[in-house]
Amino acid sequence: MENIIFNKNHIKITYADMGKSSEKFRVAWTTSYETIYPKGMTITAINKKWEKVIKESPLGFYYNSMEEVEHEVETPVSSKIQYHVVYVYLYDHYYTITYPVSCNDVKIGFDARPWDICIGDMSMRENFIKALNKILNDIFVSGAPIKGIARTKDKVYKEIFGNTKGYSTVDNEVKIISHGFDPKESFRKVKKKKK
């Protein structure tokens, strides 16, 4: 039976028992695709259909005629999501880590994280991101006997958090300096000299 550990903004981590297994400790990668239809997102298209219309002739009598008329059709918007799926097999259980790497033409990268790229998702709060980081840390610590797990961890962290060390908050002083301000002088009230 599969137990969900984390499921937010198309990032999902599950845990499942395998019973007694002769499987060696190992890690496996795969790619999967899914088409979603975000709630409330539609495109209005104008289609044509044939309808029976009653017309009046110039001689004063009425007759039925078939006429092509336009009508609006609401079509749901679809998004194709590409996922990376990582399986971490331990002695009697395994973990599945699933996260999106692209949605339509938006891909994860320097400024786009997996929780931000899917259409219709709200932004993920920092407490969920920290919880995701802790869960992943626990999984990779338990998978320490697996050969090459450090390389897998680095790749997963780089794709999910943008940093091989995992999630980290940027210090306010670094933010201030990156915007071109001096943290000691820029925000202080200048004292007027007495004459």
**In terms of Cα–Cα distance, which of 37, 71, 25 is closest to 51?**
71
Residue 147's pLDDT is 84
Using CA atoms of 136, 137, 141, 145 in order, give the dihedral in degrees to the nearest 10. 50
In this model, does residue 85 exceed pLDDT 70? yes
- 17: which residues sit within 8 A by CB, 6+ positions away? 1, 92, 93
Q: Are strands 106-107 and 93-103 parallel, antiparallel or unpaired?
A: antiparallel
Tokens of 10: 């198309």
- 23: which residues sit within 8 A by CB, 6+ positions away? 89, 91
Residue 96's pLDDT is 94
| Digit-coded pLDDT (tens) for 112-156 | 888 888 877 788 888 898 899 999 999 999 888 888 888 999 999
Residue 74's pLDDT is 85
| Bigger pLDDT: 4 vs 71 | 4
pTM of the predicted structure, to 2 decimals: 0.69
Residue 187's pLDDT is 66
Mean pLDDT computed over every residue of the chain: 83
Q: Contact, 94 vs 8, CB < 8 A? A: no
In this model, does residue 172 exceed pLDDT 70? no
DSSP string, 120-187: TPPPPPHHHHHHHHHHHHHHHHHTTTSTTHHHHHHHHHHHHHSSTT---PPPHHHHHHHTT--TTTTT
